[in-house]
Amino acid sequence: MSASNAPTGISRRNLLAMIGTVAGSAVSYRAMASMGLVEESTFNGPPKLEGDPKGASVLILGAGIAGMVSAMELRNAGYKVKVLEYNNRAGGRNWSIRGGDVYTELGGFTQKCEFDKGLYINPGPWRLPYNHHGILDYARRLGVRVEPFVQINYNAFVHNTQAFGGKPQRFREIQTDYLGHVSELLAKVTQQGKLDEMVSKEDEQALLASLRNLGALDRNYKYVPGEASSNRRGFQKPPGGGLDARPVYSTDITGLSDLLKSGLWRSISAGWSTEMQSTIFEPVGGMGKIGEAFGRKLADLIQYNSKVVKIHQDNKGVKVTYVDPKTDGNPRTVTADYCLCTIPLSVLSQIDLNVNPKMQAAINAVPYAAAFKVGLQFKRRFWEQDEHIYGGITYTDLPIRSIGYPNTDYFQPGKGVLLGGYTFGPDAMKFTAMAPEERVKKAVEYGSMIHPQYKEEFDNGVAVGWHRVPWTLGCAGSWTEEMRAQHYDNLCQIDNRFLVAGEHASYIPAWQEGAVTSAIDAITRLHKKVINS
């Protein structure tokens, strides 16, 4: 059943909540896409800001991706640009935590990362889909090297604590068995003539041939142990050489009823949405390399350790008051002709700001999602050495929801870092109700139910809950269809001399591409206003 054909009485908002609870964030995101709540990138190159701005000045609030894209392009177009940034680094949520880094969250918990040199975790974005042309183009222009990110690894695991005695199953086995059983059922219906009204006799044979190929069926259109199914799900004893070369076919095919009850079929579509289809990329050395490259490029424009506390505009310009939380905290002011604000709405809604009531209502309306990530360093890369898992993701119903394996340094000796958990909503809240060391301990406990080596091989870890990050108070804006209809256009309008940009002002929420395309749209409209004024 498509989301648009939901039963009467269930709103799309409630349906999305149900999908997210049962199937996880990735499936919920795909459901949003099916409802038209997210769209593919519209990026088709840097903006063409033609015409002389005649020295107009723009103050940009926030040195995240949206702020730095805006700063780069406005400077190139001849504007006087200044950026105020809360942190002591550029990038915003584009962030990698490495050995020696120190991070303090709301409540005062401070973590010092103890990862070995060269190892890192991306607490924020960790993927660059091939069709996110904007962020990839800026990475290229900034000289940031990228490498493949493995979204789907058929040798990784899918796991449900209530199925198969809690034993993890290989992704390829569940996918092969599911497609095999479904193909056999459809072939049987086709042969019985029950699709005659839908499929012509000519197409019937082509359909049967395609089902045999899709489901690895035998000549009788049965999904059974044999060479065809073993070539997909793996052999009980793989083919080799010499006298002991003869393979033994896999005989432990999972029955359809057990498959359906397990719920593991939910995970096999994880790579089907366009954002998750190969090829996906990641920056070499961590996602933060993009923010760091922007920071170097715009070093003369960015003022760090500047916490904005008030934004006031009139018909002549904008005055912003900020403090340096690391020094005396005395208020300082800076002025400009225009202000482009990329501060997350979760924070902006708490700042003294004079904009029209509709824009203020939009700023106040959008909640931010709770999200949690934990990075775990292990004494050796046991997932490769013991289980032959090279990159990719394991999916589970445990509160950690997934385990991400590094896509770099394959076969290298020494330590390695896993993404030990990536979760949203109530699970994220439960994790961050604990002290950081307890979060890490709990992630190790859960992970050991999939990889028994965890407890013996664990070294150290760091854990970030985004709703406790002072400068975002959540991972991303959580729009609903109803909120977009009421507030989205009001949020994105230019209010006198003030406007906003960021992933929250896009139809690509929670992705860096949303920040890029939002920034380009905002500065294009601002430039038009400046040139015409």
Which pLDDT tens digit goes with each residue over 356-415? 999 999 999 999 999 999 999 999 999 999 999 999 999 999 999 999 999 999 999 999
Paired tokens of 253 = 């095919």
Do β-strands 338-341 and 371-378 pair in parallel, antiparallel, or remain unpaired? unpaired
Alpha helices in 448-488 (DSSP H): 454-457, 481-483
pLDDT band at 23 (very low <50, low <70, confident <90, very high): very low
Q: Assess whether pLDDT exceeds 80 at residue 27.
A: no
Residues 487-506 have a mean pLDDT of 98
The pLDDT mean for the chain works out to: 92
pLDDT band at 35 (very low <50, low <70, confident <90, very high): very low
Whole-angstrom distance, CA of residue 74 vs CA of residue 336: 14
Q: Assess whether pLDDT exceeds 70 at residue 486.
A: yes
- Residue % of the chain over a pLDDT of 90: 88
Whole-angstrom distance, CA of residue 371 vs CA of residue 447: 18
Residues 267-279 have a mean pLDDT of 92
3-state secondary structure of 512: helix
Contact by Cβ (8 Å): 74, 528: no
Q: Assess whether pLDDT exceeds 70 at residue 24.
A: no
CB atoms near residue 49 (< 10 Å):
20
Q: What pLDDT does 327 receive?
A: 81
Residues 237-253 have a mean pLDDT of 94
Which pLDDT tens digit goes with each residue over 417-455? 999 999 999 999 999 999 999 999 999 999 999 999 999
Q: What pLDDT does 197 receive?
A: 84
Residues 5-20 have a mean pLDDT of 40
Domain ranges for the chain: 3-34, 57-91+289-366+479-532, 97-131+144-155+369-468, 171-262
Residues 20-38 have a mean pLDDT of 43
Contacts of 111 (CB under 8 A, 6+ apart): 102, 103, 104, 105, 436, 462, 463
Q: Assess whether pLDDT exceeds 60 at residue 34.
A: no
The pTM is what? 0.91
Which pLDDT tens digit goes with each residue over 128-152? 999 999 999 999 999 999 999 999 9
Do β-strands 393-396 and 402-404 pair in parallel, antiparallel, or remain unpaired? antiparallel
Residues 319-328 have a mean pLDDT of 90
Nearest CA-CA partner of 26 in 275, 264, 260, 261: 275
- CATH 1.10.569.10 assigned to domain 171-262? The reply is no
Q: What pLDDT does 310 receive?
A: 98
Q: What pLDDT does 517 receive?
A: 97
Q: Assess whether pLDDT exceeds 50 at residue 22.
A: no
Maximum Cα interatomic distance, the chain, rounded to a whole number of Å? 88
Beta bridge partners of 377: 417, 460
Q: Assess whether pLDDT exceeds 80 at residue 31.
A: no
Between 14-28, 347-361, 415-429, the lowest mean confidence (pLDDT) is in: 14-28
Q: Assess whether pLDDT exceeds 80 at residue 281.
A: yes
pLDDT band at 32 (very low <50, low <70, confident <90, very high): very low
Q: What pLDDT does 533 receive?
A: 87
Which DSSP helix (H) or strand (E) runs through 394? strand 393-396
Q: What pLDDT does 326 receive?
A: 80
In CATH terms, 57-91+289-366+479-532 corresponds, of 3.40.630.30, 3.50.50.60, 3.40.50.150, 3.40.1180.10, to 3.50.50.60
Which pLDDT tens digit goes with each residue over 95-112? 999 999 999 999 999 999
pLDDT band at 9 (very low <50, low <70, confident <90, very high): very low
Q: Give, in words, the CATH class of 97-131+144-155+369-468.
A: alpha beta
Paired tokens of 412 = 């290298």
- Residue % of the chain over a pLDDT of 70: 92
Nearest CA-CA partner of 391 in 147, 175, 30, 136: 147
Whole-angstrom distance, CA of residue 58 vs CA of residue 113: 37
pLDDT band at 325 (very low <50, low <70, confident <90, very high): confident
Q: What pLDDT does 40 receive?
A: 65
